[in-house]
Amino acid sequence: MKTELLFTEFECDEKGSSPDIYELNIISGGCRLYGYLLSPDKRIPGPYPAVIMSHGFPGYTTNNDLELALMRTGCVVIHINHRGAWGSEGNYLFTNLRDDLVAVAKWAHNPATAQRYGIDTDNIFLVGHSMGGQTVLNAAKELPFVRGVAALAAYDIEAALGNGLEKELFLMIETEGQCLKMNSASEVFENALNNRYELSVLNGCERLAGHAVLLVEASLDTVAPADIMMKPLARTLESLSARVEYSSIVSGHSFAGQRMKLAKAVGEWIEKTINT
């Protein structure tokens, strides 16, 4: 992995060395999850670290720029749309998110998949933004083979409900969630209410202690305020002597205007974790 290539591209050649993209569909809960895999330039020697991305709610901000930056450094990057999102089968429910990501991670860790795409199964990372941050943290608790997990401006449903943000959560589901496949906004909201403790990033967080953890806050974030959604997790992980790194970027929730700084923070953390 070469983080000096985050914002530098090789000249295209005719020898089949250049990066490539592969369409994917992976089964989770009996449904097909659609997405793609970015394969790095073969002039960077493999096997390659793999980064599995989890999009937020509903996924308008896909983090393609971050994915492409990590691909340039020599990572295989896997982007999958969760059940009920952006063409993937099934209905969207918060309780499906963790299971979807666990299924994708196990697919990437499979020896046949690793051989086909040149994945280094000792260096698989989960990276998620917003609701995807909650998802990668919860999925990592179920995946001991994952090397590290990075949560970017992570949303925590239990923290939202416990701090009087029920109305904001419902309105987010009702308005932004119209692009998702769901029976109703009320059903998705009830799914959050009925499973709030299971979905909490603090629930079972001792199982994160075996992973390297990166938490990146957006200091001007009003959607997922770090004081109630990320800093409590950081303090708890520190008390468990976990390998946690906490970073702050001056920006709003989407990191708009600070995307290169975000890519640098994530890329350098992955490189450091691999070399540790």
Q: Which CATH number characterizes residue 54's domain?
A: 3.40.50.1820
pLDDT for residue 7: 87
pLDDT for residue 30: 96
pLDDT-derived band at 87, boundaries 50, 70, 90: very high
Q: What percent of the chain has pLDDT over 90?
A: 90
Mean pLDDT computed over 14-26: 90
Q: Does the pLDDT of residue 48 top 80, yes or no?
A: yes
Which residues, in sequence order, are CB contacts of 254 under 8 Å at separation 6+? 61, 153, 218
Q: Is residue 70 part of a domain?
A: yes
Q: What percent of the chain has pLDDT over 70?
A: 100
pLDDT for residue 62: 77
Distances from the Cα of 261 to the Cαs of 43, 121, 216, in angstroms?
A: 25, 27, 11
In the chain, the largest separation of any two C-alpha atoms, in whole Å, equals: 58
Bigger pLDDT: 59 vs 273: 273
Q: Is residue 276 part of a domain?
A: no
Q: Tell me the per-residue pLDDT of 120-154, one tens digit each, with 9 for 90 and over.
A: 999 999 999 999 999 999 999 999 999 999 999 99
Query: What is the domain range of residue 114?
Result: 3-271
Q: Is residue 205 part of a domain?
A: yes
Q: Does the pLDDT of residue 61 top 80, yes or no?
A: no
Q: Tell me the per-residue pLDDT of 154-195, one tens digit each, with 9 for 90 and over.
A: 999 999 999 999 999 999 999 998 999 999 999 999 999 999
Counting the structural domains of the chain, the total is 1
Q: Is residue 44 part of a domain?
A: yes
For 242-269, the DSSP string reads -EEEEEEESS-TT-TT-HHHHHHHHHHH
Indicate yes or no: pTM above 0.85: yes
Q: Is residue 146 part of a domain?
A: yes
